[in-house]
Structure 1
Amino acid sequence: MRVTTAVRPRWTSSSTVWHTPVLGILACATVALAPMEGYLFAVHGQLAKVAPALLAVAWVVIRVRERRVPRAHPVHAVLALFAVVLLASAAVHTGGQFTMDYTVRWLPFLLLTVIIADLAARELPIRLLLGAAAAGATAAAGTALYAMFAQGLPRASGPVEDPNDLSYFLVVAVPMLIAALPSGRHTPPTYLSGQTFLSGQSTAIGLRVVAALAGATLVAGAMATLSRGGFLALSAAVGWLLLRRVLPLRVFAGALAVIALIGASAMSLAGPALAKAFGEKSFIAGSNVDARELRWQAAARMLAENPVLGVGPGGFRSEYAAASHNAEIGEQTPVAHNMYLEVAAELGLPGFVLFLALLVLATVATERVLRASRHRRPMVAVQAALIAVVVASTFLSQQYYLPLWLLIGLAVAAESRLHERRGSADAGAPCDQ
């Protein structure tokens, strides 16, 4: 009988005993604190950048010491080309009012995508990062709801200044929460019995209760922002989960009942305030539609006049008044409220194509992993989160927020893990992760 001994992965060394916890804590802090940036900015203007900066420094130092580079993936080439286009556009429009600020905003996200992809492919479980992101978004939803009712605010906000942007974080976190949960089909080994078995059952029940409360908080917080784009994004994500049979119909029906109960309770406790908020939202809805149409037309005009390198990072804001012929007297430097048009207007067609390529490659990576894996829930949930990003970004400028880049990095990491398993199997090594 042939005995196969376990082979330690080639990247494992004694240094990972302390490397992995340090990187894990910093990575989880980075993704969990992202939805709380409004509160962090209120304390200090640079506080929100501390965790990502420490993560980047630690990752670079550790990888240099280990003499390792990330596993090659087509996304890395696209990110590099995108950075070249970004810097070229910034160089051409170096005198722009917002050029330097927005160039500095872009570059950390490109680096964080590489870091997250590398960490989730080697040291950190993908579910851990998804769980950290969902936990941070749940905390943001809870604090926003509390502030809304305690301070009498018309819409939920605070953790992120704009309610629409807050809705984006909360909606994307709903499928992340589902992905972070262990499979419900898992059963304890047969040798477990007595108190151990009961503890396992209790833990599973406890996780489901916590997940249900977190999901209700996320959905309630998203609804309290009164963001129509957020509602459409949530509907698209949930529809994908139902279509791919990851979200059971009975769970969906139960969630709808809980949401209805929360809504009825909110109306009974704060009916007049909510009615006023809905009235104000309805009043400004028409003007919002007109304003966005003006901005989209201005972005298209900028792209048509500057198709190669656009108007530069942040150029939409500085060029909007001229491109729109002062169509909005009260808004001289707004955002486009459409991620795709804003990226195209600022970075030109090459930057826009590369940006779309990142989304396409991430989606293809998740589908490849899904077809090769027995555990469907995490990747379907990541796909649903990507769908939420794509839909919400039709109405919002979300390229400067972490969820998009986190999902791209995790998709790359999942495909890298798949290639590693196949390589280990071809070499005769065990395939377990």
Structure 2
Amino acid sequence: MSAPTVTPPRPRARAWGDVPRRRPRRTPHGARPPARTGARARRVAGLAAGLAGLALAGSGLGLLLAGAGLVAGPLAPLLLVLAPVLVVLAWRRSDLVVPIVALTLPLGHVGAGPVDLVQLVTALGAVAVLAPAAARLDWRLPPWPVAVPLGLFLVVAALATPRARDADLAFRLDVQLLLLVLLVVAVLTGVRTTTQLTRVVVGLLVAGAASSAWALVASGPTESFYGGGVVTGRAVGVFSQPNELGLFSAVLLVLALGVGLGSASPRLRATGLVAAGLLVAALGVSLSRGAWFGALAGVVALAVLVAPTRRSLLRLGAGLVVVVGALGLLGVGPLGQVLDRVASVGEAGANPYDQRPLIWAEGLRLVAEAPLLGHGPGGYFLEAASDSLRSGVVLEVEHAHHLLLNTAVEFGLVGLGALLVLVAGLGAGLLRARRATATLPPAAEVRLLPGVLAAALVPVLAHGMLDYPLRNPVVLTTVWLVLAALVAACEHARATAPTPTQETR
């Protein structure tokens, strides 16, 4: 019997994907491969060249910003940085441009070269949204009940400008009006969803909270005369006078209360309530009776238009009255002047410095002189100051202290009619939006925001019966941003309405 044949062992087969290991090449101790040494040298040289380029670019940018600051003012460097940001957002995220415009409001009524900062930012924002939309042929215009009075405003302003005594002032006001109308179109074009609209509202609330905080920090001691009819040392914040701070706070306070008490989002509620606390404090230290009246009218409108806020508003109102009354009796803080101002509303004749009767009489006379197209934008001050000597009194006011009367003086009865048609158009849009969202939950943002934004505009009309603080570009831009957001909210609510086919099903 032969011996079995011994088969040598076969090498182990490699698994799928195994790579045979190679022995590392031995390099003499202390020596480096020439290829790796060359690569590292190139990296070091590239890094040095990059740092040198950054240094040169930084030096050039610093010289550019410094030169712009010397020529156009200290805010020009900020604008040079903001402009590229808006350009990038214009092509990538145009919906963020409008919230950025809202966030620049706390910078206040400051100059940026020949114009105000808020006007320049408004122009940049409108261009940043509308230029890419025009390239895509994707503009969105307001509905005709809003577009017609806005267009009529522009036509009347152009026709009334040659009649103005100060052509430069009239031209500036015309440009501002055109920018604000373009801002409305930009909001409708760039803000197309409820989420994007909510960002605009949050931007307004953050701007209001920041401005209120500054007003509270910068406020000083006050002194009242004539039973509270005249108070010195009133807070102004970033504005020119207390009534402008008051109207700004009243508008955004109603907006903050509507969001904070009616929204279903916890974050949005917290943002609204924090902003409302700061805004109500700023409204109080402004000691503006017209703004208080406007805020009260806005809160009443909010309770009527937005049902989820009614019970909370009653509780907050009762608590606020109790706290203010108790602290006022104890004489804590500036509440004594607040109560004196409230009590002085019914004693207007006790204040010899209140020129409203004379101002309104002068305004009616100016309307009778030019009833059709008025005296041109900004014409009240020059016309009244030149003719008030007939009654032996010189007026030192810039406006007619009345929204409707000032509009009639500067734009005639045609301009006043355009304003009333605009208010009616906004009301009609709100009614259509409420009908379109009647089947949605009351706290749904698409149903909540139109009512809240409409209530936020009520203080403008109520305060406008006693004063006209819309000469300040920050206040004016804030009001127009709320107006544009209201139009966008109503249009979006109408877009969510069920079709007839869906209703049949």
TM-score category of the 2 structures, normalised to the smaller one:
0.7 to 0.9
CA distance in 1, matches of 2:404, 2:178: 18
1:138, CA displacement in angstroms? 1.6
CA distance in 2, matches of 1:328, 1:134: 46
- 1:88 partner letter: L
- 1:307 partner letter: P
The answer to whether 1:257 aligns with 2:336 is no
Q: Give unmatched runs, 5+ long, in structure 2.
A: 1-87, 224-231
Q: 1:161: which partner in 2?
A: 240
Q: What secondary structure, in the 3-state scheme, does the structure 2 residue paired with 1:310 have?
A: coil
CA distance in 2, matches of 1:252, 1:315: 44
Q: 2:281: which partner in 1?
A: 220
- 1:300 partner letter: L
The answer to whether 1:233 aligns with 2:304 is no
The answer to whether 1:24 aligns with 2:84 is no
Greater relative contact order (Cα < 8 A, sep 6+): 1
Q: 2:462: which partner in 1?
A: 391
CA distance in 1, matches of 2:89, 2:412: 44
User: Contact (CA 8 Å) 1:168, 1:230: kept in 2 or not?
Assistant: yes
1:218, CA displacement in angstroms? 0.9
Distance 1:396 1:117, change over 3 A: farther
- 1:356 partner letter: L
CA distance in 2, matches of 1:20, 1:182: 36
Distance 1:320 1:248, change over 3 A: same
CA distance in 2, matches of 1:263, 1:22: 49
After the TM superposition, which residues 50-65 of structure 1 pair with which residues of structure 2 at under 5 Å, given as runs? 50-65=120-135
CA distance in 2, matches of 1:280, 1:390: 21
Q: What secondary structure, in the 3-state scheme, does the structure 1 residue paired with 2:375 have?
A: coil
The answer to whether 1:294 aligns with 2:355 is no
- 1:230 partner letter: A
Q: What secondary structure, in the 3-state scheme, does the structure 1 residue paired with 2:418 have?
A: helix
The answer to whether 1:355 aligns with 2:419 is yes
Q: 1:403: which partner in 2?
A: 478
User: Contact (CA 8 Å) 1:137, 1:170: kept in 2 or not?
Assistant: yes
Q: 1:417: which partner in 2?
A: 492
User: Contact (CA 8 Å) 1:358, 1:408: kept in 2 or not?
Assistant: no
After the TM superposition, which residues 280-319 of structure 1 pair with which residues of structure 2 at under 5 Å, given as runs? 286=349, 287=351, 290-319=354-383
> Out of 251, 256, 265, which is 1:172 matched to?
251
CA distance in 2, matches of 1:419, 1:184: 20
Q: What secondary structure, in the 3-state scheme, does the structure 2 residue paired with 1:98 have?
A: helix
Distance 1:164 1:81, change over 3 A: same
The answer to whether 1:91 aligns with 2:162 is yes
- 2:421 partner letter: A
Distance 1:323 1:121, change over 3 A: farther
CA distance in 2, matches of 1:234, 1:341: 21
1:73, CA displacement in angstroms? 1.4
Distance 1:352 1:159, change over 3 A: same
1:105, CA displacement in angstroms? 3.0
TM-score normalised according to structure 2 size: 0.68
1:380, CA displacement in angstroms? 1.8
> Out of 137, 141, 146, which is 2:217 matched to?
146
CA distance in 1, matches of 2:200, 2:376: 33
User: Contact (CA 8 Å) 1:294, 1:327: kept in 2 or not?
Assistant: no
Q: Deviations over 1:298-320 (max 9, x none)?
A: 11111111011101111111101
User: Contact (CA 8 Å) 2:259, 2:272: kept in 1 or not?
Assistant: no
CA distance in 1, matches of 2:199, 2:271: 16
CA distance in 1, matches of 2:259, 2:287: 27
The answer to whether 1:345 aligns with 2:414 is no
CA distance in 2, matches of 1:70, 1:219: 36
CA distance in 1, matches of 2:91, 2:281: 35
1:217, CA displacement in angstroms? 1.4
Q: What secondary structure, in the 3-state scheme, does the structure 2 residue paired with 1:247 have?
A: helix
CA distance in 2, matches of 1:329, 1:225: 28
Q: Deviations over 1:371-424 (max 9, x none)?
A: 2212443222122112111101112224441233223322322232244345x9
Q: Deviations over 1:330-370 (max 9, x none)?
A: 64452111121111111111111112211211122112102
> Out of 436, 456, 462, which is 1:372 matched to?
436
Q: What secondary structure, in the 3-state scheme, does the structure 2 residue paired with 1:168 have?
A: helix
CA distance in 1, matches of 2:98, 2:352: 37
More displaced, 276-285 or 362-371? Answer: 276-285
TM-score normalised according to structure 1 size: 0.78
Q: What secondary structure, in the 3-state scheme, does the structure 2 residue paired with 1:70 have?
A: coil
More displaced, 19-28 or 235-244? Answer: 19-28
User: Contact (CA 8 Å) 1:35, 1:169: kept in 2 or not?
Assistant: no
Same amino acid, percent of matched pairs:
24
1:181, CA displacement in angstroms? 5.0
1:145, CA displacement in angstroms? 1.0
Q: What secondary structure, in the 3-state scheme, does the structure 2 residue paired with 1:246 have?
A: helix
Q: 1:33: which partner in 2?
A: 104
CA distance in 2, matches of 1:72, 1:211: 28
CA distance in 1, matches of 2:320, 2:112: 34
CA distance in 1, matches of 2:167, 2:89: 45
1:56, CA displacement in angstroms? 1.7
- 1:253 partner letter: R
User: Contact (CA 8 Å) 2:254, 2:295: kept in 1 or not?
Assistant: no
User: Contact (CA 8 Å) 2:142, 2:185: kept in 1 or not?
Assistant: no
1:54, CA displacement in angstroms? 1.3
CA distance in 1, matches of 2:92, 2:213: 28
The higher radius of gyration belongs to 2
CA distance in 2, matches of 1:164, 1:106: 22
1:216, CA displacement in angstroms? 1.7
Q: What secondary structure, in the 3-state scheme, does the structure 1 residue paired with 2:139 have?
A: coil
More displaced, 413-422 or 256-265? Answer: 256-265
More displaced, 125-134 or 359-368? Answer: 125-134
1:150, CA displacement in angstroms? 8.5
Q: What secondary structure, in the 3-state scheme, does the structure 2 residue paired with 1:307 have?
A: coil
CA distance in 2, matches of 1:269, 1:30: 41
Distance 1:307 1:254, change over 3 A: closer
Q: Deviations over 1:165-201 (max 9, x none)?
A: 1110111112222444596557xxxxxxxxxxxxxxx
Q: 1:67: which partner in 2?
A: 137
